[in-house]
């Protein structure tokens, strides 16, 4: 393992505690949810969290997309505090659980705290191997740019060399994203984003478009890529074509070519670069080994970043992403144990 400097990766997203339980189709119907939703909670969904806690004995798992990825990257890297995380939480016991779990996994969490709302939660409703996500951002939406302007946090931003922000976060603070992206641009450092969920390119089209010129690596899954194409009025569902069109969108840092990486569940991962498209097969996982796919995409990015910061090729980064996702789907939520034994 290469010696990687502390704080080299900086991530920003919504800090959420996952409240995860196995439920039946009736429960999904009760709240008008589908088996594979990833949505923001509306007033009709607010009783879900108490319902889960009262009737389903749920698991509480440190969640939030980028925080998941950083926890997985730390698992790969072994040395604590390679990654730094910003997100906003309330002043409550959920914030303490979240911080304890993320720190135990080696992430240097530097939360902003608000008294305006409780810590955000995400209901993870598992039916067989499917998962439906319903996020109540609560405190997470109170993240404000002054957090990154504090001298101690500015120092962390200046020290980092890789920046990873979720598409989810465009719903919260575009000015924060742009300020960090401008630091990346100024120093020719890597700025990475994820499309995160189909509703992001559709419902937050303008906000996402403001950030995209700064993005060097775009991650997404097939549903998110199709939603992106639909939002852009591109008349195609062909992932290769969508990826190539994403490469052509305006880009601020001319010293780096953009790269698009699209996952498609058990089907090959696509690496779309300026002059070529590569496919990476996903080894078959027997159905009885799958627990749930919750966090698969986040784990993929975590595995990728864990290798990227060691200076490994995209080929190795993607194979480690596939390996990490495979571990996570054999467990409940984005969790892992023991030593990460990925072999290059």
Q: How far is the CB of 3 from ligand AP5 (least distance, A)?
A: 28
Residue from the set 81, 110, 264, 330 that interacts with ligand AP5 by CB under 6 A:
264
Return the residue of 75, 214, 300, 304 that touches ligand AP5, per CB under 6 A.
Answer: 300
Contact call for residue 133 and ligand AP5 (CB under 6 A): yes
Torsion of CA 10, 12, 224, 227, to 10 degrees: -130
CB 301, min distance to ligand AP5, A:
8
Q: Give, in degrees to the nearest 5, the angle at Cα 266 between 218 and 162.
A: 25
Site for ligand AP5 in 31-90 (CB under 6 A): 38, 63-65, 68
Antiparallel, parallel or unpaired: β 88-90 and 59-62: unpaired
- Least spacing, CB of residue 7 vs ligand AP5, in Å: 22
Select the span of 48-56, 174-182, 243-251, 295-303 touching ligand AP5 (CB under 6 A).
295-303
Q: What is the C-alpha to C-alpha distance for residues 37 and 130, in angstroms, rounded to an integer?
A: 9
Question: In the numeric block, which tokens belong to residue 142?
Answer: 């109170």
User: Based on CB atoms, which residue is closest to ligand AP5, 4 or 10?
Assistant: 10
Q: Mention every residue, 6+ apart, whose C-beta is less than 8 A from residue 138.
A: 90, 117, 118, 119, 120, 121
Site string for ligand AP5, 147-186 (x = CB under 6 A): -------------------x-x------------------
Size of the site for ligand AP5 (CB under 6 A): 35
- Catalytic (active site) residue 298: yes
Residue 136, interface with ligand AP5 (CB under 6 A)? Answer: no
Answer whether 72's CB lies under 8 Å from 203's CB: no
Q: Which residues of 27-44 are buried (b: 16+ CB within 10 A; e: fewer)?
A: bbeebebeeebbbbbeee
DSSP 249: S
**Residue 92 Cβ, how far from ligand AP5 at the closest point, in Å?**
17
Which residues from 5-34 bind ligand AP5, rule CB under 6 A?
13-14, 16, 18
Q: Name the active-site residue from 36, 146, 298, 315.
A: 298
Tokens 């500015």 correspond to 154
As a whole number of angstroms, the distance between CA 27 and CA 126 comes to 10
Instruction: Give the separation between CA 172 and CA 209, rounded to whole angstroms.
Output: 15
Considering only the stretches 43-51, 185-193, 205-213, 319-327, report the one whose residues sit in contact with ligand AP5 under the rule CB under 6 A. Answer: 319-327
The reply to whether 263 sits near ligand AP5 by the rule CB under 6 A is: yes
Burial grade of 197 (CB within 10 A; 0-12, 13-18, 19 or more):
buried
Active site residues: 298
Tell me which residues touch ligand AP5 (CB under 6 A).
13-14, 16, 18, 38, 63-65, 68, 122, 131, 133, 135, 166, 168, 221, 263-266, 269, 282, 285, 293-298, 300, 322, 325-326, 329, 334
């Amino acid at each position: 393992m290469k010696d990687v400097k502390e704080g080299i990766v900086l991530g920003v997203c919504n800090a959420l505690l996952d409240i995860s339980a196995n439920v039946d189709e009736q429960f999904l119907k009760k709240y008008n949810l589908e088996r594979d939703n990833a949505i923001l909670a509306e007033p009709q969904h607010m009783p879900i969290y108490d319902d889960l806690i009262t009737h389903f004995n749920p698991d509480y798992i440190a969640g939030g997309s980028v925080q998941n990825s950083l926890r997985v990257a730390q698992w790969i890297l072994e040395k604590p505090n390679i990654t730094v995380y910003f997100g906003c939480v309330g002043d409550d016991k959920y914030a303490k659980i979240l911080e304890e779990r993320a720190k135990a996994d080696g992430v240097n969490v530097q939360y902003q705290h608000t008294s305006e709302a409780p810590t955000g939660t995400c209901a993870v409703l598992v039916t067989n191997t499917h998962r439906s996500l319903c996020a109540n951002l609560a405190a997470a939406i109170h993240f404000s740019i002054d957090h990154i302007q504090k001298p101690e946090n500015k120092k962390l931003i200046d020290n980092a060399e890789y920046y990873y922000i979720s598409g989810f976060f465009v719903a919260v603070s575009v000015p924060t994203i742009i300020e960090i992206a401008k630091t990346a641009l100024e120093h020719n450092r890597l700025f990475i984003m994820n499309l995160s969920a189909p509703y992001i390119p559709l419902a937050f089209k303008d906000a996402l478009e403001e950030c995209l010129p700064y993005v060097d690596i775009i991650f997404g899954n097939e549903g998110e890529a199709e939603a992106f194409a639909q939002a852009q009025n591109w008349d195609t569902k062909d992932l290769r074509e969508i990826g190539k069109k994403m490469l052509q969108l305006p880009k601020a840092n001319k010293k780096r070519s953009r790269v698009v990486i699209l996952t498609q569940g058990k089907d090959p991962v696509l690496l779309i670069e300026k002059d070529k498209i590569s496919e990476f097969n996903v080894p078959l996982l027997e159905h009885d080994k799958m627990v749930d796919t919750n966090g698969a995409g986040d784990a993929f990015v975590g595995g990728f970043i864990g290798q990227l910061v060691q200076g490994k090729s995209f080929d190795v980064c993607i194979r480690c992403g596939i390996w990490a996702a495979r571990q996570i789907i054999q467990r409940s939520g984005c969790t892992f144990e023991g030593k990460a034994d990925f072999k290059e």
